[in-house]
Amino acid sequence: MENLYSLTAHELRELIDKKSLEPSRILDEIFKRIELLDDKIKAFVLVNKLNAKAETKIGKLFGIPVLIKDNICVKDENTTCASKILEGFKPPYDATVIKKLKLEGAVLIGKANMDEFAFGSSCETSFYGPTKNPWDLERIPGGSSGGSAAAVAADETILALGSDTGGSIRQPASLCGVVGLKPTYGRVSRYGLIAFASSLDQIGPIAKDVKDAALLLNVIAGHDEMDSTSVDLPVPDYRKSLVKDVKGLRIGVPKEYFVKGIDKDVEEAIKKAINILKDLGAKTIDISLPHTEYALSTYYIVAPAEASSNLARFDGVQYGFRAKDAKDLIDMYVQTRSQGFGNEAKRRILLGTYCLSSGYYDAYYLKAQKVRTKIKEDFDNAFGSLCDCIITPTSPTPAFKIGERIEEPLSMYLSDIYTIPANLAGLPAMSVPCGFSKNNLPIGMQILAKPFAEETIFRTAYTFEQVTDFHKKKPKL
């Protein structure tokens, strides 16, 4: 028999349901695996070996280990956003998604490393140091949910939760060769997700295959009266969309995503993937999303602006780190924040504060909100009549080397160029493994659909997965 840790959640659930597997064995294997590997990969900031247990014996995820990104509040457990400023913070409450996981019997095995406050695309801005890509330990796993994606890829967990503000689920999923879904804005409650940019953030699943992603989304999706921006729509059973059938599916291929800056291997892999879907009966349509080139600029105004305000609360008064020996109140604020935040956090706070400050608001923030409207309209037009889904690369390049871009913020920001538009428009988007580069690094394909059309994405991705085996490839560790 295969090692339990290498199985998917649905495979393990089947074994548990047939009573041929005692769930505690999964945990034993997983914790052994973490012990063996995580010194190298550093996907975990907290391993919850002592308390890990299912709170109920029934439920869709009974006995399944789930790793939680460190910006999601788990009651009485360290939740730090990989930042010094939240050192030792133990939230007095569970995020809504955590409540749901516990109700379905999931086992929370720990907290995943991430870029500090989700500011980054490489996991290098973590206070705890970088996570490594399981496919090449010299390389970054992507970010900000790099710990979650790397742990899934390395079989250190079965499922993981990430959060996605500009690609933070999809880009690391792509770079680690796993499946990652950013649901429609409003599909999953944000209550208990420590906010980066409130109008863009969304929690989503990171999993070994499409079916597992559907299983996890089934559990976490739904309306929450604690989140004004969560939408009161029925949640379909996403497993029902797992049908191998793309006949007549209209796939939009936007020309703006295949321009300079894209890696040759990536371009080739995506084009091949699209052809595979075509062979299965899908139709491709060349479309244009003319405001694509403005998405990154828009994002780097909107997201830091909201972040600068969201992060104002970290001031040393109520929780987390407080600088010692401050001479007065202002000094305490300034020292706490200057010592508590890392470079990228400071950079974004400064940028966001600037864009909101008197005299600049109209030129930056308001302008960005207006361009956001144009970007959204591009998608409205495409999904309105032309296509059912859109396929693009998830990331312009495979995983880059640790340290390669960290000194150049702008080059780092460019790694999210394909993922950001979905956040600005609130659309659901998934990254699925679709190939490997010449030096054996995973490549991901991004599938986008209109709001609340996750089912279209699941069907497309599942069909693709049925005829390919990229998702089954494992890194050599």
Considering only residues 149 through 188, tell me which ones interact with another protein, judged by CB under 8 A: 185-186
Please select the residue that binds another protein; options are 91, 110, 180, 396, rule is CB under 8 A.
91
Answer yes or no whether residue 204 interacts with another protein by CB under 8 A: no
Q: Is 361 in the site for another protein (CB under 8 A)?
A: yes
- Burial of residue 55, with CB atoms counted within 10 A of its CB: 0-12 exposed, 13-18 middle, 19 or more buried: middle
Q: Kindly tell me which residue out of 35, 317, 440, 467 binds another protein, with binding defined by CB under 8 A.
A: 317
Catalytic residue from among 60, 69, 182, 450: 69
Binding of residue 366 to another protein (CB under 8 A): yes
Name the strands in the sheet holding 429-436, side by side, starting at the edge strand that comes first in the sequence: 44-47, 107-112, 65-69, 159-164, 202-207, 179-182, 429-436, 442-449, 389-393, 250-254, 283-287
Q: Does the annotation mark 198 as catalytic?
A: no
> Helix, strand, or coil here: 199?
coil
Q: Is 141 in the site for another protein (CB under 8 A)?
A: no
Using CB under 8 A as the binding rule, the residues of this chain from 35 to 74 that contact another protein are 72-73
Hey, is 262 helix, strand or coil? coil
Among 88-96, 121-129, 251-259, 453-461, the segment contacting another protein (CB under 8 A): 88-96
Please, which of residues 228-247 interact with another protein by CB under 8 A?
Answer: 228-229, 231
Contact 118, 142 (CB under 8 A): no
Other CB atoms within 10 Å distance of the CB of residue 40:
12
Q: How far apart are CA 302 and CA 426, in angstroms?
A: 14
CB 136 within 8 A of CB 94: no
69 tagged catalytic: yes
Shortest CA distance to 463 belongs to which of 440, 442, 434, 437?
Answer: 434
* Residue 122: active-site member: no
Among 13, 372, 450, 459, binds another protein (CB under 8 A): 372
Q: What is the DSSP letter of 186?
A: T
Pattern of binders to another protein over 318-337, x per CB under 8 A? xxxxx---xxxxxxxxxx-x
Does 297 help bind another protein (rule: CB under 8 A)?
A: yes
**Rule CB under 8 A: is residue 78 a binding residue for another protein?**
no
CB 391 within 8 A of CB 252: yes
CA dist., res. 50 & res. 34, Å (int):
14
Report 18-37 residues binding another protein (CB under 8 A): none
Q: Is 384 in the site for another protein (CB under 8 A)?
A: no
What is the closest distance, in whole angstroms, from the C-beta atom of residue 260 to another protein in the complex? 16
Catalytic residue among 144, 174, 241, 431: 144
- Residue from 17, 35, 225, 237 touching another protein (CB under 8 A): that is 225
Residues noted as catalytic: 69, 144, 168
